[in-house]
Amino acid sequence: MNYSVQFGAVWPSVRISLLSEQKYGALINSFSSAEVVTRGLRAINATDFLQEARAAPEMSPTSSLACYTFPRTDISRFPPARCGTSGLLGYYLLDAASLLPVLALNARPDHRVLDLCAAPGGKTLALLLEGCRYLVANDASVSHTNRLRRVLQSYVPRELRTEERVRLTSWDGAEWPEEAAYDRVLVDAPCTADRHSLLQEENNIFHRIRRKERQRLPLLQTQLLLSGLRAAVPGGDVVYATCTLSALQNECVVEGALRRAAEEFGIGAEVQDLRCFQEIFKKTFNFQQDCRLGALVMPHLTANYGPLYLCKLRRLH
């Protein structure tokens, strides 16, 4: 990857942002004491960035998600979440941009939803907060699945964690066995995780002992997206997402998966236009202006979220 070639003159500012402190959002847990929690967040000058998107036709009219962020240039930190009277934590801290794939998925309560690479659990939690009544949350790593289970135990009431409503699995997503079974599929694929890789030495994918794993990433990502397309029903939507700036792991993977889906499985799919998302959320996030397919949130010192790439596909047949 050579980001100075890919992004040209803007790369130095993006790199500085990646090396600077990341901004977070507080995803409100509506299963807990939400009113008390939101009142406390408003008192520290945080606002719900999703509020302005409520009227957009691409958003579910019944969407109940709320995520509080601090204004641009404000680098305040959220205090740790506390348990309410229900015993559940009041909010989940995450990169606010990571909610965009969930919003783009636009899952309704009656949809069957597959979260193919679900750990650590923020997007899975968001799907349940949206009212999803049948969700399969999968991760190939058993330890990651156990971590996901602990997250759900901390945020979701026991009666909403039944096997009939949310099923946790640890299958290889690249070899997903079900076909044409889900109305919505989220493929939050493993990637080079640019911000983590720059700031963390431990378990860094750019370490020499992980070179082969890193080189195989685009193939794995393509296979995961292929599994997602095969798992979707005709007319169903698939959202592919990563937390890397790399075009090789983003647009190129989408193009490769579309080609292989048609050639190997006779599956047709088309990329959906996400320019509306960029317009709706441009006050909160810094989007790349010339992304060929999908949308890319680029870190910026005044809005230091991301990187987050997303592309929405609709299976045609």
Question: What distance in Å separates the CA atoms of residue 32 and residue 87, rounded to the nearest whole number?
Answer: 8
In the DSSP assignment, the letter for residue 1 is -
Task: For residue 121, say whether it is annotated as part of any ligand binding site.
Answer: yes
* Of 188, 173, 168, 190, nearest in space to 226 by CA: 173
**117 is an annotated ligand-binding site residue:** yes
The DSSP call for residue 139 is: -
Query: Is 66 marked as binding a ligand?
Result: no
- Is 67 one of the catalytic residues? no
**CA–CA dist 202, 196 (Å, integer):** 10
Q: Which two tokens stand for residue 39?
A: 């009142």
Coil, helix or strand at residue 83: strand
Q: How would DSSP label each residue in 208-255?
A: GGGHHHHHHHHHHHHHHHHHHHHHEEEEEEEEEEES---TTTTHHHHH
- For residue 109 the two structure tokens come to 């309560």
Among 150, 97, 159, residue whose Cα is nearest residue 125: 150
212 belongs to an annotated ligand binding site: no
Task: Give me the sign of the Cα torsion angle 101, 106, 108, 114.
Answer: negative
Q: Report whether 172 belongs to an annotated binding site.
A: yes
Residue 252 CB coordination number (10 Å):
16
Tell me whether residue 287 is exposed, middle or buried, using C-beta atoms within 10 angstroms of its C-beta: 0 to 12, 13 to 18, 19 or more.
buried
268 annotated ligand binder: no
Q: Which of 67, 191, 243, 291 is catalytic?
A: 243
Task: Could you list the residues known to form a binding site, using ranges.
Answer: 117-123, 139, 172, 188
Task: Could you list the residues known to form a binding site for S-adenosyl-L-methionine, using ranges.
Answer: 117-123, 139, 172, 188
Catalytic residue numbers, as ranges: 243
